[in-house]
Structures are given as C-alpha cells and as structure tokens.
Amino acid sequence: MPDEFILGGVSLSSRLFIGTGKYGDDALIPAVASSSGAQVITLALRRVDFNNPAASLISHIPDHLRLLPNTSGARRAEEAVRLARLARAAGVGDWIKIEVISDTRHLLPDGYETARATEILAKEGFVVLPYMNPDLYVARDLVNAGAAAVMPLGAPIGSNRGLATREMIGILLEEISLPVIVDAGLGLPSQACEAMEMGAEACLVNTGIASAADPVEMGAAFGAAVRAGRQAFLAGPGRVLRHGAADPSSPQEGSLTGFLEQGGAETCGQP
C-alpha cells in the first residue's frame, strides 16, 4: 500500500517540503525541486520592486508543485490575515503557512497571534499550516483554531542547528492528533531523518538546502533522508536500553570459546 500523506485533502507522496529563499540563483529551483522530489514549495509575498520589473520567482517554480505562501513579515494576526488574503487573491490556492514574528533576533513565532490568525483564516476556508514553537498548549490552541497541521521549529529559522527542540517535538507527536511537520533549523539530512524516525509527517527545509555548496545534491540528500526516516518509523524502531545496559546480538549458548574452555578440544581430535 502506498504511504500517502493527506494534507488539506491533497494526497502527497513526498514528505519533504522545500523553500525558495536564499538561493544564489533562483534558476536552481527547478533542479532542486526535481532532485529532492518535493511536491510542496514555500514562497513569500513582498511589495513589487519597480526598479527590477523582470524578476519573477514564480517562473522558476515547476507547475506540478503545490504553492505554500507564507505570511513572513507579519508581526500581528491581522497582518498575517491580510497577507494570506492577498496570496489567495494572487491565484495560488488556499494553502497558507502562518508566520507571525515580532522578535527580530531569534525569529521565534508568537503563539498567541499565530493562533488568532489561524482561527480567522481557517473559518475563511484556508488550509492553515502554522509555524510554531513546539509548545503543547500552543499546539492545542492551534488544533482548536482549525489548523490543518502544526509546524514546530527544530531550531531558529536559518540556523542549520538541527533538532534542538527534539524533546518538545516528541511531546507534540505523542499528544497532538494533527500532522506534525518539522519546519526551520534542519541543516543536515540526518536531522530531517531523525524527525521522521520520531514520527513527524513531513519536514520543511529551506536554508539547509539553499545554503549548501551544491543545493541540487543537498536536495537529493534531504529527499533520501526523509524517505529513510519515514521508512524507519513505519518499520517500528526497536527498544532503547537504559544507559549502562547492553544486550548481546549473538547467542550466548554454544560459544566455541566456552566449548574449548570446557575441554571440548580433547575429544574433538583423533585419539
């Protein structure tokens, strides 16, 4: 049976979402989309630059990808709502990644404002995917507000620091019924793989791929890691022993060494 991820009524076969920020050259994006196998791609809304009319990100995004605009730049719920409505009016569908951030140093999301924006937009028919701190109570608020998934950060945006919030994400995976999509901070494929092994439904990676020396190869590596992590999760990882304990992988009985020690060698040879 194929392992599908149903999100917002859409069946996805790839569990890696990618971003479009920070590429030295946006023309790399189609190759990264292809190498990573991603089916969902994020983008941001900004004022048109009249000094640079030719620049068009959209022209670099392959048609088969589902667009996931974000509300980056919003500091309050109302600003996120405004950006979401503009994005939908621009004709990219009704998926929206809520980002409400007023802390410019750590770029940590504001849980209260995020939940407020989620509630308004879910009622307007958006498929709302809120970027959030992996806090159980915020996650519960987002469930009640009508989110389609929760997107906890692994580490601060753009930091490539990996699953710094591992324990907190583990709690969300245990307690929250919505899909958990780990977003932000994943800098290496092994970190995305670990998130998937833990039971995350998907990962979103932008900087980890875009800032690599070879984004196309790194996209392929992240794609493989997310698939491997998902496969391991479905396979059911074995138990973890407490610190200091061990359990031999080979049988204890019938050891040749023990056999020799018991004087077996004397009866083994010719008399």
Binding site for another protein (CB under 8 A): 19-23, 26, 42-48, 50, 53-54, 56-58, 67, 69-70, 72, 82, 85-87, 89-92, 157-158, 184, 204, 206-207
- Whichever of 127 and 233 has its CB closer to another protein, that residue is 127
In this complex, which beta carbon is closest to another protein, that of residue 71 or of residue 233? Answer: 71
> Rounded to the nearest 10 degrees, how much is the dihedral formed by the CA atoms of 75, 182, 22, 99?
-10
Interacting residues of 185 by C-beta distance below 8 A, sequence separation 6+? 153, 154, 155, 156, 157, 158, 159, 160, 161, 162, 163, 164
For residue 26, the 8-state DSSP code is G
Q: How far is the CB of 43 from another protein (least distance, A)?
A: 5
Nearest to 196 by CA among 173, 167, 175, 164: 173
Sign of CA dihedral 127, 14, 160, 178: positive
Closest distance to another protein from the beta carbon of 231 (Å): 26
Closest distance to another protein from the beta carbon of 68 (Å): 10
**Catalytic residue set:** 97
The answer to whether 89 touches 64, Cβ cutoff 8 Å, is no
User: Smaller CB distance to another protein: residue 89 or 241?
Assistant: 89
The residue (of 35 and 70) whose beta carbon lies closer to another protein is 70
- Between CA 122 and CA 127 the distance in angstroms is 7
Identify whether the C-beta of residue 129 lies closer than 8 Å to the C-beta of residue 123: no
In the complex, the smallest distance separating the C-beta of residue 256 from another protein, rounded to whole angstroms, is: 58
Q: How far is the CB of 54 from another protein (least distance, A)?
A: 8
In sequence order, the β-bridge partners of residue 5 are 12
Nearer residue to another protein within complex by CB, 96 or 233: 96
